Amino acid sequence: MPSKISIQHVGKVFGDGRHAVEALRDVSLDVADNEFVTFVGASGCGKSTLLRIIGGLEHHTAGEVLVDGRPIRGPGADRAMVFQHYSLYPWLSVTENIKFSRRLRHGRESLTEADVEAASGRADALLALMGLTAAAHAWPNQLSGGMQQRVAIARALMGRPQVLLMDEPFGALDAQTREVMHDLILHVHRLEKTTIVFVTHDVEEAIYLGGRVVLMAPRPGRIDTIYDVPLPAEREQDMKHTPEFLRLKKAILARIRETSGMKTDQDMLDQLNRGQAAA
Ligand SMILES: Nc1ncnc2c1ncn2[C@@H]1O[C@H](COP(=O)(O)OP(=O)(O)OP(=O)(O)O)[C@@H](O)[C@H]1O
């Protein structure tokens, strides 16, 4: 089966000469259609850079990235991104925020009545899917962080993207809200059949969500190990306490520590926290 996303020997160097930073070296990975793949790794190993390259926001300096067999040349409607910071338009209501990306793409003048009707139907369906119907007319500053991120996800889904690229989307949320968001994004993934590439600092989150966890290592950023997650496709919170989950979590944490040159758990926590603060 052809890959949805094919990353082939991708390299990325920022700057040149003495100031050059090799952010990625020879990264290759195939992501299948409708796969949910998560990326973890020490701070600075190139996770965000790789995601931005797939999103077309950054240009790679070596190799090739194909989506549906076509090389990417920049951002496209087939790929949507969700970041840690919600980036909603404060002057638009929840519903308007969700419809906004579509309006931007087509231009208001060229929209027919049928387009507007279809967009409204899609927006209503996404509001319901994300549990936001009651908040449809609220302003972003009236919403909790979790609700704002649901709006951002709904907005990303509005144009029916084939690929959803998520960079630490739940990094700023409290632990309880994150759990709710985890089950919600798994539900979205099942329903919308999107391919999801998800970057996180949280190994537990990476295992709970991913069919595969890709561990990257720094200096230069590269893929170190790819783990198949030995859990059923339908995830339940209780699975986090199973021996296979805990074994994998321990193995990944140990490998992050080894690849990042951190000696103690405290070193690692410090670095992960620094990464989270910098993100
Ligand atoms: N615009 C840029 N200019 C120069 N160097 C950059 C730029 N963006 C990223 N880098 C460097 O590239 C490397 C990879 O950064 P990147 O943000 O992709 O890593 P990351 O794994 O996502 O890190 P974190 O977990 O801290 O978010 C780092 O050394 C970083 O300093």
47 lines ligand 1 (CB under 6 A): yes
| Confidence bin at 87 (pLDDT 50/70/90) | confident
Signed CA dihedral, 208, 262, 30, 198: sign only: positive
CA distances from 69 to 206, 260, 275 (A): 27, 34, 33
Q: Find out whether the peptide bond into 169 is cis, omega within 30 degrees of 0.
A: no
203 lines ligand 1 (CB under 6 A): no
- 247, 71 Cβ separation under 8 angstroms: no
Choice from 13, 45, 49 to test ligand 1 binding pocket (greatest atom count within 8 A of CB): 49
In the sheet where 70-71 sits, what is the strand order? 21-31, 5-14, 62-67, 70-71
For each of the domains in the chain, give its residue range(s) and CATH number, in order of start: 3-78+161-277 (3.40.50.300), 90-160 (no CATH)
Q: To test ligand 1's pocket by mutation, which of 10, 13, 14, 54 has the most ligand atoms within 8 angstroms of CB?
A: 14
Q: What is the pLDDT of residues 28-39, one digit of tens each?
A: 999 999 999 999
- Interface pTM, i.e. ipTM: 0.97
Residue 239 has, within 13 A of its CA and on its CB side, a CA count of 20
CB atoms within 10 A of CB 209: 25
Question: Which protein residue's CA is at the shortest distance from atom 7 of ligand 1?
Answer: 14
Q: 221: Cβ below 6 Å to ligand 1?
A: yes
Kindly give the distance from the C-alpha atom of residue 278 to the centroid of ligand 1, in angstroms, as a whole number: 10
The answer to whether residue 225 scores a pLDDT higher than 80 is yes
What pLDDT digit, counting tens, does each position of 133-175 carry?
A: 999 999 999 999 999 999 999 999 998 999 999 999 999 899 9
Average model confidence (pLDDT) for the chain? 89
Q: Is the CB of 14 under 6 A from ligand 1?
A: yes
**Lookup result for tokens 């539900």:** 187
